Amino acid sequence: MKDPYALFADFVARQKLKMTPQRRQILDVFLAEEGHLTSEELYQKVKTEFPSIGQATVYRTLKLLADSGLAKAVEFGDGAMRYEILYGQSHHDHLICEACGVNVEVVDPAIERLQEEVARRHGFALTGHKLYLYGLCPECRKKRTSSL
């Protein structure tokens, strides 16, 4: 399995685009990060290593990464679009704590299967889905209970 750089380089070449230092830098930082980054967050981090970079370039590159299949856009409900690494990651959904915001990545094969079935039942060809579960994480449940 090729490394992400090679994947992206291939993609860029195939689309007759160009590989630039800013794209390399953005990809670098993006891969080094764990969470689900906002374009703004990524921009801040990249700027420390590459001060001349502009926000627009980050926005544009994030879109490119998503197109290339390396990144995936997820919306958590705060105003901003977030991107997570898709490369080498298996599919997952999100379980989000409404109190503290922690995010757990979850999967349930049975749910996945049932989604396919629901779509089929309506004659749809399923191409993707978004599932966000909202609740209270163990810690926040404790806090809430004790404060009542």
C-beta pairs of 62-69 under 8 Å, 24+ apart in sequence: 62/26, 62/30, 64/11, 64/12, 64/17, 64/23, 65/8, 65/26, 65/27, 65/30, 67/11, 68/7, 68/8, 68/11, 68/12, 69/7, 69/11
Using rule CB under 7 A, residue 6 touches DNA: no
Using rule CB under 8 A, residue 80 touches its own copies: no
**Minimum CB–partner distance for residue 128 and DNA (Å):** 18
Binding track over 99-138 against its own copies, x by CB under 8 A: -----x-x-x-xx--xx-xxx--xxxxxxxxxxxxxxxxx
Using rule CB under 7 A, residue 60 touches DNA: yes
Using rule CB under 8 A, residue 98 touches its own copies: yes
Using rule CB under 7 A, residue 74 touches DNA: no
Is 129 labeled as ligand-binding?
yes
Q: Among 68, 67, 54, which Cα is nearest to 25's? A: 54
Q: Which residues bind its own copies (CB under 8 A)?
A: 75, 77, 95, 97-98, 104, 106, 108, 110-111, 114-115, 117-119, 122-138, 141
